[in-house]
Amino acid sequence: KQEVTQIPAALSVPEGENLVLNCSFTDSAIYNLQWFRQDPGKGLTSLLLIQSSQREQTSGRLNASLDKSSGRSTLYIAASQPGDSATYLCAVRRRDDKIIFGKGTRLHILP
């Protein structure tokens, strides 16, 4: 059974710092892994999608890596800003096409 875990559940860092969010999954037979952000009471915004054959993806200040053999993905945020405050979720799409989400990391950037 695929489980997706995100640690830590919450994180507060001062503005300007670089930070890493972690996502681990138990079954490496996945099609892809996607990172999202969610603002309170809102839907999800797609940040990065990594296919199973890829090792990393970059978009602006964001970089996501994927290590299928160890069942881990990290989301690196450079030079954090108060606007980055949100809940970050990772989701894996299994080979049976079901998508499993982690519970998310609540990020607070301190001005």
Partner 1 sequence: KAGVTQTPRYLIKTRGQQVTLSCSPISGHRSVSWYQQTPGQGLQFLFEYFSETQRNKGNFPGRFSGRQFSNSRSEMNVSTLELGDSALYLCASSLNRDSWGLSYEQFFGPGTRLTVL
Residue numbers of the site for partner 1 (CB under 8 A)? 31-32, 34, 36, 41-46, 49, 51, 89, 91, 93, 96-104
Based on C-alpha coordinates, what's the Rg of the chain?
Answer: 13
2 or 80: CB nearest partner 1:
2
65 or 80: CB nearest partner 1:
65
Say whether the peptide bond before residue 8 is cis (omega within 30 degrees of 0). yes
Cα gap 103→100, rounded to integer Å: 10
Assess contact for 50 and 33: CB atoms under 8 A: yes
Cα 66 → chain centroid: 10
How near is the Cβ of 92 to partner 1 at its closest, in Å?
A: 11
Q: 3-state class of 17 per DSSP?
A: coil
How near is the Cβ of 34 to partner 1 at its closest, in Å?
A: 6
How near is the Cβ of 14 to partner 1 at its closest, in Å?
A: 28
Assess contact for 3 and 26: CB atoms under 8 A: yes
34 or 85: CB nearest partner 1:
34
How near is the Cβ of 86 to partner 1 at its closest, in Å?
A: 13
8 or 16: CB nearest partner 1:
8
